[in-house]
Amino acid sequence: MSTEKPPTQRRDFLRKTLAIVPAVTLTGGAATMALSNQGHAADAPAPEVPYEPRYFHPAEWAFIHAAVDRLIPSNEDGPGAVELGVPEFLDRQMEAPYGRGAFWYMRGPFKTDAEPTLGYQLRLTPRELYRAAIAAVDDWCRKTHGNTFAALDAPTRDAVLHQLETGKAELETVPANIFFSTLLANTKEGYFADPIYGGNKHMGSWKMIGFPGARADYMDWVGQYGKTYPLGPVSISGEKA
């Protein structure tokens, strides 16, 4: 379904990434945050004010903004991760059950080189992973590029993220590729999750891909391939686009 023009290359990419987000991240991230939001979904929306992080320190907050801005940048196809509030989503996750690993098996043995099919194998909870990894990435960037990650230009940030993804950046405290995959998965969650979790402000990503959101009934349109869906998305809180 699409509310406007046919999908662009970027829209196709974002759609496809939804299918490869690790299940452990999806069930442990946005889904578990619902437990800490029960009873608030129907509250009237408060006036928008600049979000103040509760978990991330200023240097970490700068890193988060700089990183997610490069993972999903704003362009002619639609809004980027920063514009849609993904940093707020990540900060709120760190204070939720997901960030504390509340529903994870967190006993040994721990392995830093486990097969990806075995899932997350580190002794660190997600919030501990972020704290240790961001400090390690900034240290690595200072040694390699003379400045912290957030202070680098966009092409250099992209190069650093690629080195984290491939494991070529040697961090002292955590495996670079595991941190990158966690950050990328959480960024995509925040970009596409319901706005009650802090990201996807005003359902910007849903409008971009033509997703109807939490509408009670749109089954009449499921089989109408190629037709434009005439109604905008609705969030769990009742917000309409």
Q: What pTM value is reported for the model?
A: 0.78
> What mean pLDDT is predicted for residues 88-114?
87
Q: How does residue 12 score in pLDDT terms, banded at 50, 70 and 90?
A: low
What residue segments make up the domains of the chain, in order of their start? Answer: 9-221
Q: What is the mean pLDDT of residues 214-232?
A: 82
The torsion of the CA quartet 99, 147, 59, 31, rounded to 10 degrees, works out to -20
**Amino acid 72: pLDDT:** 97
36 and 96 in contact (C-beta within 8 Å)? yes
Q: Give the residue with greater pLDDT, 10 vs 115.
A: 115
Q: Summarize pLDDT for 204-220 with one digit per residue, the tens.
A: 999 998 888 888 777 78
Alpha-carbon gap, residue 216 to 194, rounded angstroms? 15
At residue 4, the pLDDT reads 44
pLDDT band at 79 (very low <50, low <70, confident <90, very high): very high
Whole-angstrom Cα Rg for the chain: 18
On the question of pLDDT at 103 being above 80, the answer is: yes
CA distances from 59 to 69, 75, 91, 129, 167 (A): 16, 26, 13, 15, 23
